[in-house]
Structure 1
């Protein structure tokens, strides 16, 4: 997949509790800080009590503070950083 943004990106992989409002809380945290999400993907894990969310974001200096705030959200179980060219987004641009 070619990164369509000129800025370097990374992917945040979140494991979260799967219930209404979780995605909204995470996205609003970015929106309140005027931080753009380049791409979002989400799938339930196992029996559906948890989900995996992938967020492709710019590698800005202020990202670390946003990640710390995400980690404090009660429904976020785990946050991992991945390279920006993550395979979960590899085929999505074919649909655009």
Structure 2
């Protein structure tokens, strides 16, 4: 885990979901209803486009296990993986968001 500069630890969630309208809304709605912040979101279709992969950078504040359990219950979520903050998916993207 890596600190986000405010003393909190980050984790990376990797979701494999069905690719159709409304799926991102359902995932984000779960976080919103539980007042749980996402610091980063990346979503792209994979394979033949029937599925998408969503990467979420979130704080690990002790409620993350419950959020993961609830994500797994969503109809369109096929798989949930958990990675440390050192996972390269967001590290590589941070260069695009640096102030010039």
Counterparts in 2 of 1:47 and 1:79: CA distance versus 1, 3 Å = same
Corresponding residue of 1:14: 15
Q: TM-score, normalised by structure 1?
A: 0.91
Asked if the contact 1:16–1:78 (Cα under 8 Å) also holds between the matched residues in 2, the reply is yes
The alpha-carbon deviation at position 63 of structure 1 amounts to 1.1
Superposed counterparts of 1:53-92, under 5 Å: 53-92=54-93
Superposed counterparts of 1:20-39, under 5 Å: 20-39=21-40
Q: Aligned residues, how many?
A: 95
Return 5+ residue gaps in structure 2 as ranges.
none
Return 5+ residue gaps in structure 1 as ranges.
none
Q: Distance in 1 between matches of 2:4 and 2:66?
A: 25
Asked if the contact 1:11–1:57 (Cα under 8 Å) also holds between the matched residues in 2, the reply is yes
Asked if the contact 1:37–1:55 (Cα under 8 Å) also holds between the matched residues in 2, the reply is yes
Counterparts in 2 of 1:54 and 1:5: CA distance versus 1, 3 Å = farther
Q: TM-score, normalised by structure 2?
A: 0.88
Deviations 1:13-62 (A, max 9, x none): 00000000000100010011110001011111101000111101011111
